[in-house]
Structures are given as C-alpha cells and as structure tokens.
Amino acid sequence: MAGKVEEITLSNEELEWIQMRRDFDSLRQETVKEKMLRKIKSNPLVPIGCLATAAALSVGLYNFRTGNRKMSQLMMRARIAAQGFTVIALVTGVVLTYGQKSDKE
C-alpha cells in the first residue's frame, strides 16, 4: 500500500473556491508593524532624522534644567538642523516614490 497513489477529481466549483481563497490571501491587510518596517526600509533617513531630533531635544532640555545655557542653546540649534534633515529626507522619499510610480505606468 505504500506506493499506491489515489487520484482525486475536483469539480469546477471546488476549483473556483480554491482560487478565490488564494486571491483573498494575497489581499491580506498588513499589520501596523509590517507597514512601519516597510516604510522604514523604503526611506531609512526619516527615522534617523526623528531619532536625532528627539536626542537633541532631550539633551537640550536636560541642559536647560541643569542651567547649562550654552549647551542648551547649542542642542536647540541642533534640533532645528535635525528637523530640517528629517523634512528634506521625507520630501526626497516622496519625490522618489512618485517617480517610481510614474515609471511603472
């Protein structure tokens, strides 16, 4: 009995059902985590800019609280530069994505 293969016949309705399941599986919605990872991979400079902005803001606020005005001012200027970098990275990513979509059409 080990080498015996049984042939299965399927009706058209059953084949359509299998195909419909495959189609719906391909339309599966991505989770928030999957979407975030996809966006980070497509434009990695934006999260880097966000982290740099948060770091400069945190260090600047800490120095403001401890009374180190010079360092606090420097970090606030660094925060503005990091925000500018983030905005430029975001705009560049949008332009590149739009350019890739135009090329496909």
Helix/strand number for the chain, H first, E second: 4, 0
Structure tokens at 9: 């016949």
Q: pTM to 2 decimals?
A: 0.63
Q: What are the pLDDT digits (tens) for 8-42?
A: 676 666 667 777 777 776 667 778 898 889 888 88
**Which value, to the nearest 10 degrees, does the dihedral of the CA atoms of residues 80, 83, 87, 93 take?**
140
Once rounded to an integer, what is the mean pLDDT over residues 78-86? Answer: 96
Residue pair 98/72 in contact (Cβ under 8 Å)? The answer is no
Residue pair 68/80 in contact (Cβ under 8 Å)? The answer is no
Give residue limits of the domains in the chain: 38-104
